[in-house]
Structure 1
């Protein structure tokens, strides 16, 4: 007398009988758990294990193919700019700061002020009840060349830069990956700050415009490499440059950022695909060049005006 045979049950749903089995591990799986494979079916555990061991697809410039698809870095940069703007308005204690009609205490501390006449090497500011002494760039306040990238004169100034950052940033972040995109953005902004220090050191400047113009230069070369049409981009860039001249914006900062973006684009596009690690070497060399120019200008100002 033979024993009655019972059907196996799904390893994930013990109350379901099944004759289907995973082609990799041979575990019984029900119709809801089975995942189609090139041959037969696989269980969820084997599919997950296969994904973990699969080599990540890389983009043309070394970033993950899906890295930056959601524009995470772009959103963080926009959030940081908006947060700093609100903090500047609060520091002023007046909504007039939102229109760009006044310098807030945060601007006096963080905007790029390269040189002050009369042998004045720093600015003393009352910030939230604390007395802060902030040196100008020529007196060693090099941090201003970075902090100025996140300060804006009024909500219109902020809105304009953030709209362009949103438009271009997500595309470039998808193409380059988050790390390369962020590095190129910061280097472009720094290039704009260096240009201001060279040619407009007696002015007070702020804004993400240098970095944003860098995105124009960066995208021009990236699009050429990927054989995309740049015609619309050229028109948009030309209109922005015309507005820069008409409105009296920082021409040195905008053009400096554009040149910085072109330099970053050249590093990314002219480096052989199989030697992508050289991107970081190129970025490091560009940073050293910008630092050397900055220190050289400080030396010139020191000799001419006896700042320090």
Structure 2
């Protein structure tokens, strides 16, 4: 009497005969479920599990390796869109520019800030609870026909953002890079609030100066050619001094300092499981400090 052979089927497709086993889980798999492996074939689930268990490559600063500078593209796009919005509706500049404290009279004119003012006047700026100005001003630029630079203001800023941003984002990864950019922009606005609360300021320069500081710190950490990097940094600082008569040096300096602090935390955090926590704590700590300084200044202005 002959014994009947057992028919084996694919574990994912029970109606399909199969005589090949997954080299990882030892289950039978059909041709549709086979994936090439170093030795033999693996099933779909084992391939996915293996991909999850593979450690993702990271930079010295903990960022994930990325191919395209997506965040830099998005930031440039937002700045350009905001600029187009200004051209269509110029009132957007007055509504969202960085302004710490100003009084608006019944005639619509702007007047110097004072804590006590007549009932027919009203406050404008951060002192009026418009806290969003601390960040929105960093995405606006001088209208094409105004100021010393006009349209060159956004053109120059976007060119520097394109050149610096791609380098910094590639090293930091998208999340760390975005945190650096926003904190640098915020740092510039806060220093404007602290020193020159009545100034009207716009532009991504504070954030870009933060990227400049990041570029210098990263080069030091990576052991790069500091001669060229130092020349770049000297030029950046020289521009900060020379442009002080026409631009907000407070915004530039604030962005530079904030960007330097954040990148120092990125660069010298322990290279173990504590790294992400230390880096996140540094960013949150700086954010809290900027918030406390802002609230303190507003409280002092409003009496």
TM range (shorter): 0.7 to 0.9
Q: Which residue of 1 aligns with 2:183?
A: 187
Q: 1:50 to 1:113 in 2, by over 3 A?
A: same
What does the per-residue CA deviation read over 1:61-100, in whole Å, with 9 as the maximum and x for residues that have no partner?
A: 333x32x431111111111111111111110xxxxxxxxx
Task: Write the mapping of 1:202-281 to structure 2, written as runs, cut at 5 A.
Answer: 202-247=198-243, 248-274=246-272, 275-276=274-275, 277-281=277-281
Please report how far the alpha carbon of residue 286 of structure 1 lies from its aligned counterpart in structure 2 after TM superposition.
0.7
Residue of structure 2 aligned with 1:72, choices 70, 73, 92: 70
Instruction: After the TM superposition, list the runs of 4 or more consecutive aligned residues in structure 1 that deviate by more than 6 angstroms.
Output: 18-21, 121-125
Please report how far the alpha carbon of residue 170 of structure 1 lies from its aligned counterpart in structure 2 after TM superposition.
2.3
Q: Which residue of 2 aligns with 1:35?
A: 36
Q: Which residue of 2 aligns with 1:53?
A: 53
Contact 1:192 1:211 in 2 (8 A): yes
For the aligned residues, what is the CA RMSD? 3.6
Task: Write the mapping of 1:1-308 to structure 2, written as runs, cut at 5 A.
Answer: 23-24=23-24, 25=26, 35=36, 37=38, 39-40=39-40, 42=42, 46-63=46-63, 65-66=64-65, 68-91=66-89, 104-116=90-102, 119-120=103-104, 135-153=124-142, 154=144, 155-247=151-243, 248-274=246-272, 275-276=274-275, 277-303=277-303
Q: What are structure 2's unaligned runs of at least 5 residues? A: 3-7, 12-17, 110-121, 145-150
Please report how far the alpha carbon of residue 225 of structure 1 lies from its aligned counterpart in structure 2 after TM superposition.
1.8
Q: Secondary structure of the residue that 2:247 maps to in structure 1?
A: coil
Cα distance in structure 2, aligned partners of 1:152 and 1:302: 29
What does the per-residue CA deviation read over 1:232-273, in whole Å, with 9 as the maximum and x for residues that have no partner?
A: 333233323333443422111111100010110122223212
Cα distance in structure 2, aligned partners of 1:200 and 1:287: 20
Contact 1:74 1:165 in 2 (8 A): yes
Q: What are structure 1's unaligned runs of at least 5 residues? A: 3-7, 12-17, 92-103, 126-132, 304-308
Q: 1:124 to 1:272 in 2, by over 3 A?
A: farther
Please report how far the alpha carbon of residue 138 of structure 1 lies from its aligned counterpart in structure 2 after TM superposition.
2.8
Q: 1:160 to 1:252 in 2, by over 3 A?
A: same
Q: 1:298 to 1:226 in 2, by over 3 A?
A: same
Cα distance in structure 1, aligned partners of 2:204 and 2:106: 23
TM-score (norm 1): 0.75
The count of aligned residue pairs is: 278
* More deviation, 160-169/73-82: 160-169
Cα distance in structure 2, aligned partners of 1:191 and 1:105: 25
Q: Secondary structure of the residue that 2:237 maps to in structure 1?
A: helix
Q: Secondary structure of the residue that 2:104 maps to in structure 1?
A: coil
